[in-house]
Amino acid sequence: MKLCISIQPGSMKEALKSLKRYTKLGEVVEIRIDNLKNLNLSRLLSLPRPEIILTYPWKSNTDKFNRNFEKYYTLLHKAAKNGVEYIDVEMSLCKKIIKRFRLEKINIPGLICSYHDYQKTPNNLHSIYDKMKRLNPDIIKIATKANRISDNRIMFDILNEAKNDKRKVIGICMGEYGEISRIIGGKFGSYLGYTCPEEKRKTAPGQFSYDQMKYLFRTDRITMETKIFGLIGNPVKYSKGIYFHNKIFSQNKVDAVYINILVDNLSEFFSSIMEYITGISVTMPFKSDVVKYIDRIENGAKELKIINTVLRKKGNLIGYNSDLYAITNILKKIRVKKDTRIIILGTGNMSRTILFACNIFGAKPVVVSRYIKKSRELTKHFDCDFTDYKNINGENCDLLINTTPVGMGTKHTMPPISTSIFNKKPYVIDVIANPSYTKFIATAEKFNCKTITGDEIFTLQARYQSSLFLELCK
C-alpha cells in the first residue's frame, strides 16, 4: 500500500514549503484546498514536486464556490491543464465531471471517485461500491465512520471484493474504532494509506502521522502475507505495546505488525476481526471475559481464568497470562516470602493475578477497595482479608501495590489513600505503565520508599509475549 501525505495548507507559502519538503520523500501528497487563500494553481503545480492529489470536498464549497458547479469544474479543468496527477471528486459529481472532460477533449487526470460518510458505515456499502464501479474511475475511495469494531469487517470485505474485480480501491474507516483499517488496509489490497504530517495536523479523524505509518507500523510493507498482532481492550490508546512489539518485529526482520484495536464488544471482535489476527494481547476490561472464546488455556492462567495473551495455533486459540509471569518474577526479585504483608489496592483482574502469585509465595495479602461486595467475593476465593480506604493505615504493610487505573494516561492523580502509610516504608509498586512515573510512585519516593514502576512490569510481560509472538512468525 502506497502512502499519501494529506495536507490542508492555509496559504500558498505554506503549501509550497510543504511540497518542497515532501518531494524528497517520494510519496504522493494530497492537497486539500478548502482553506487555501489566494490559490494559484500554476505555481502550486509547477515542477519539481511530488505527485499530487487535488481535493476540494464539494460539501465544503459553500464559501468559495457557493456550490456552483461551473466554478468548481473550472478549477478542476485548470488543474488538469497544469498537469495534476489526480483529482478527488465526490461520487455524485463524477459522471458529470467525466462527461465535461470528454466533451472538451481534455485528458482526464487520474480520477479518484470518493464516497464519504462521516456518521456511520452503512450496511449497503456493497451496493454503493457497485454504483461507483459503474462510473469506471481510475481509483475508488470509500471512507466511512466506524462506530464499532465490526464496521472494519465491512470495509475489508469491500477491499477483498475489489481485489477480485482487479480494481484500485482505497478503503478507510475513520475514527478510533477504524484506526486498524488505516494500518492493515494493505493486507486486503487497499491502494493508498492517508497520513498527516504530524499528530496535531490531522485532516481526518483517526489519521496517523507519516512517521508512525512509515517507521512504526511499516504500513507500506504490509501485504496479504503479513501477520497481524494487536492489543484489544478499552481504552487502548495509552498502551506502549505498539512501540515495544513493532520494534521487536523490526529488529528480528519478521513480516508482522502490532496494532491497537479498540473493542467494546468481544463477541463482535471474535466474529468479525479475529480470523485475520495471529495473536492478541488483552487488557481491561476483557481479561476474564475472553476465556469463553479460547480453545485451550496454558499454565497458571487455567486456574486463574484470566488471560492477557491469545495465540492462533493450528486453527485453535490458546490463552496465556504473561502478567502472572511478570508479577511472579517481580515478587521473587524483591524477596517476597512467607508472611510478607502486602496491601493490594483494587479488585480487578490484575489484583486477582497478584493474589494468585501471593499464594505461591505464602505471603499475607489484604485487598483494599470501595466495593465491599466485590472485595468479599475476591478475598473469600483467595482466603485473605479485605478493608476499605478509611482503615488502610491500621494494616501492617511490607509491600503496597496499586492495581487500580487511577493515575493512568494524563490523569495525574493517585488512589484515595492517606500518605501516612508511606511512613511505614513499604516497597511500592504501581502496575500503570503509562505514564511510567505516576503520582503514586512519585509520592512514595518522597517518603524514601523503594519503588517498582508499571513500566518494569510491562517490559517483563511484553518480553514474554514477544517470545510467543515470534514463535508464530518463524
Three-class DSSP category at 457: helix
d(CA 70, CA 82): 18
State the pTM of this model. Answer: 0.90
CATH fold match for the domains 2-223 and 225-322: no
The residue among 276, 267, 196 whose CA lies nearest residue 230 is 276
- Pairing of the two strands 316-320 and 309-313: antiparallel
pLDDT at 222: 97
Cell of 27: 510519496
Considering the domain 225-322, what is its CATH architecture? 3-Layer(aba) Sandwich (3.40)
- CATH superfamily for 335-449 is NAD(P)-binding Rossmann-like Domain (3.40.50.720)
What fold characterizes domain 2-223?
Answer: TIM Barrel (3.20.20)
The amino acid occupying position 237 is K
- Pairing of the two strands 385-387 and 208-209: unpaired
- In the chain, where are the structural domains located? 2-223, 225-322, 335-449
Q: At 264, which helix (H) or strand (E)?
A: none
pLDDT at 62: 46
pLDDT at 194: 96
Distance set, CA 371 to CA 346, 348, 377, 397, 453 (Å): 9, 11, 10, 21, 25
Per-residue pLDDT of the chain (474 residues; tens, 9 = 90+): 999 999 999 999 999 999 999 998 889 999 999 889 999 999 999 999 999 999 988 765 445 554 688 888 999 999 999 999 999 999 999 999 999 988 888 787 899 999 999 999 999 999 999 999 999 999 999 999 999 999 999 999 999 999 999 999 999 999 999 999 999 999 999 999 999 998 888 888 899 999 999 999 999 999 999 999 999 999 999 889 999 999 999 999 999 999 999 999 999 999 999 999 999 999 989 999 999 999 999 877 888 899 999 999 999 999 999 999 999 999 999 999 999 999 999 999 999 999 999 999 999 999 999 988 999 999 999 999 999 898 888 788 999 999 999 988 777 888 989 999 999 999 999 999 988 899 999 999 999 999 999 999 999 999 999 999 999 998
d(CA 471, CA 256): 12
